[in-house]
């Protein structure tokens, strides 16, 4: 049987489209990262939009921990705003010693 180009690219195309459709784990979470402009803080922030479910909140927290962990920092949850479908939760990445000193 001859391998047609459409058959060879069917699986990668299906994976790309399923990611767009929200079928892949974590594809329904949007992250916006930014750096504090305040010199005294010098910490990255992440605004994470996630589904308004316990699972969505847990996945957002795990994503923040992973993002902050890349810089040897811990994720501290800040403000949270929700609708009936989605939440946006703010996380700040702080040094572990600063988090411990402030009781976080």
Q: What is the pLDDT of residues 25-49, one digit of tens each?
A: 557 899 988 887 666 567 889 999 9
Domain of residue 95 covers 26-101
Structurally, how many domains does the chain consist of? 1
pLDDT at residue 9 is higher than 70: no
Name the pTM for this structure: 0.68
Q: What is the pLDDT of residues 77-94, one digit of tens each?
A: 999 999 999 999 999 998
- Beta carbons of 77 and 62 less than 8 angstroms apart: no
Query: Does the residue 13 lie in any domain?
Result: no
Q: Greater confidence, 67 or 99?
A: 67
Query: Does the residue 8 lie in any domain?
Result: no
Query: Does the residue 45 lie in any domain?
Result: yes
CA separation (Å) from 30 to 37, 74, 96? 22, 20, 25
Q: What percent of the chain has pLDDT over 90?
A: 48
Q: β-pairing, 74-82 with 86-94?
A: antiparallel
Query: Does the residue 57 lie in any domain?
Result: yes
């Amino acid at each position: 049987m001859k391998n047609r180009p459409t058959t060879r690219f069917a699986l990668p195309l299906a994976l790309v489209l399923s990611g767009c459709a929200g079928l892949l784990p974590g594809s329904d979470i949007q992250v916006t990262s930014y750096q504090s402009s305040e010199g005294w803080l010098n910490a990255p922030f992440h605004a994470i939009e996630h589904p308004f479910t316990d699972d969505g909140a847990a996945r957002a927290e795990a994503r923040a921990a992973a993002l902050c962990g890349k810089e040897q920092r811990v994720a501290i949850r800040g403000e949270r705003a929700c609708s009936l479908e989605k939440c946006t939760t703010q996380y700040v990445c702080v040094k572990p010693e600063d988090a411990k000193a402030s009781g976080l």
